[in-house]
Amino acid sequence: MKGYMKNGRVADTARMLEAMRRQDDKNSHPDEVTYTTVVSAFVKAGLMDRARQVLAEMARMGVPANRITYNVLLKGYCKQLQIDKAEDLLREMAEDAGIEPDVVSYNIIIDGCILIDDSAGALSFFNEMRTRGIAPTKISYTTLMKAFAMSGQPKLANRVFDEMMRDPRVKVDLIAWNMLVEGYCRLGLIEDAKRVVSRMKENGFHPNVATYGSLANGVSLARKPGEALLLWKEIKERCVVKKREESEGDSSPPMLKPDEGLLDMLADICVRAAFFKKALEIIACMEENGIPPNKTKFKKIYVEMHSRMFTSKHASQARVERRVERTRAAEAFKFWLGLPNSYYGSEWKLGPRED
C-alpha cells in the first residue's frame, strides 16, 4: 500500500484497503496505519473530500485516528490553500477526537498561512501553540520568521529571531540567519542585511549559497552594482581550492560551490552596470562549474542598454581615454556574445592577396 501511495496509484491503494476488509482473519483487517496510508494517498492526489471520507469510515469501523492521520489532512488542506478548513480540522482534532495537536500540527498550519500571505494568522497560531503549553521548535521560529520576511516585515522577523536566540531549548542554525538576511534583502535593505551577515560571522556561521543568493537579489533590488563586485570578490575567494590541512581549530570558511541562480544574478548585475570584465569572470566560473550561461539573455541586455556605449558623439575625448580598459572589456564581452567587435580586429586583419 505504501508503495502504491508513493507512486500515486490511488485506485490500487483503495482496492487494497477493500481487500483487507474482506479478510477472514481479523488480524489482517485495516488498522490506523492502513487507513492513514490511504488518507495520505488521497491527500497526495489532492482529493481532500475522499480523504475525509476515509477518516469518517475509520470512526464507523471503530479504528481511532491518530495524530499522524490528522497532520496528514492538515497538510493537505494547507497545500490547497484551504486554511479555514485546516483550522476547523485542528479544532475537531482536539475537541471531537480528543487528540491534542502537537508542534508539528501547528508548524503545518503556520506554514499554510505563509502560502496565503497571512503573517497575522501565522503569529496567531504561534501564540496559540504556546498558550497550549507546546514549546516552539527551531522549525516553528524559522517558519514564523519566514512569514514576516515574505510579507515585507523584517523588523518583526528580527524580533522572532531575537526570541529564538533567548530560548535555551532551541539552537539557532544557518537557516534562521538566512531567513533574517532574506527579510531585509527582499526590500533592498542591503546595509541591514550586511549587518546581519556580520553578526552571523561573529557567531561562527559562514554564509552559504542561499545567503549570497539573497544578498545578490538585495543588491539588484537596491540598484547598488558596486556591492555586487564586493560580493563576487568574497565568493570568488571561497571558490578557490586552498591546499591546507584541516584542523579542529581552523575557522576559515569552507569551500563554496555557487549555483546557477547566484552566478546568473551576479552576471546580470554586472552586465547591466557595464562591468564587463567581472561579468566575463563570472561567466567563466559558470562554465567551470558546468553551468551554461544564458547568452541570449545577456545579448538582449547588452543590445538594449549598451549598444551605443563608448561610441556616442557627445562623449569627450578625455572620457573616452579614461575608459580604454573598460572599452576593451566591453569588446571582449561582445566577442563572447558573438556580436560585431574590435577585440580581435588587429590580429585577424588580412592584407591584400598577392597574385
Say if residue 195 is in the same domain as residue 282: no
Q: Is position 81 within any domain?
A: no
pLDDT for 60 equals: 87
Distance CA 229, CA 301 (A): 19
Q: Is position 272 within any domain?
A: yes
Q: Is position 135 within any domain?
A: no
Asked whether the beta carbons of 289 and 262 are under 8 A apart, the reply is no
Q: Is position 321 within any domain?
A: yes
Place of cell 527551531: 138
Asked whether the beta carbons of 137 and 103 are under 8 A apart, the reply is yes
Say if residue 292 is in the same domain as residue 211: no
Say if residue 264 is in the same domain as residue 190: no
Q: Is position 303 within any domain?
A: yes
Q: Is position 205 within any domain?
A: yes
Task: Please state the separation of Cα 16 from the chain's center in Å.
Answer: 38
Say if residue 266 is in the same domain as residue 323: yes
Distance CA 270, CA 280 (A): 9
Neighbours of 292 (CB within 10 A): 8
Say if residue 299 is in the same domain as residue 200: no
Residue type present at position 89: L
Mean pLDDT by 10 residues, the chain (355 residues): 86 87 82 90 92 90 89 94 94 89 95 93 94 94 94 94 94 94 95 95 94 95 93 90 48 86 95 92 93 93 79 53 74 84 54 49
Asked whether the beta carbons of 156 and 148 are under 8 A apart, the reply is yes
Helices 174-185 and 209-222: angle between axes, nearest 10 degrees: 10
- Classified as helix, coil or strand, 340 is coil
Say if residue 281 is in the same domain as residue 298: yes
Say if residue 235 is in the same domain as residue 281: yes
Tally the domains of the chain.
2
Asked whether the beta carbons of 20 and 29 are under 8 A apart, the reply is yes
Distance CA 257, CA 21 (A): 53
Say if residue 233 is in the same domain as residue 200: no
67-97: b (≥16 Cβ within 10 Å) or e:
ebbbbbbbbbbbbeebbebbbebbeebeeeb
Q: Is position 19 within any domain?
A: no
Asked whether the beta carbons of 83 and 109 are under 8 A apart, the reply is yes
Say if residue 235 is in the same domain as residue 319: yes
Say if residue 313 is in the same domain as residue 299: yes
Residue type present at position 311: T
Say if residue 216 is in the same domain as residue 272: no
Note every long-range contact of 6-10, with CB atoms under 8 Å and residues 24 or more positions apart, other chains counting: 8/41, 8/44, 8/45, 9/41, 10/41, 10/42, 10/44, 10/45, 10/47
Task: Please state the separation of Cα 277 from the chain's center in Å.
Answer: 29
pLDDT for 313 equals: 53
C-alpha separations of 308 from 34, 296, 304, 312 in Å: 69, 19, 9, 6
Q: 330 lies in which domain range?
A: 229-239+257-340
pLDDT for 58 equals: 87
Say if residue 211 is in the same domain as residue 302: no
Q: Is position 44 within any domain?
A: no
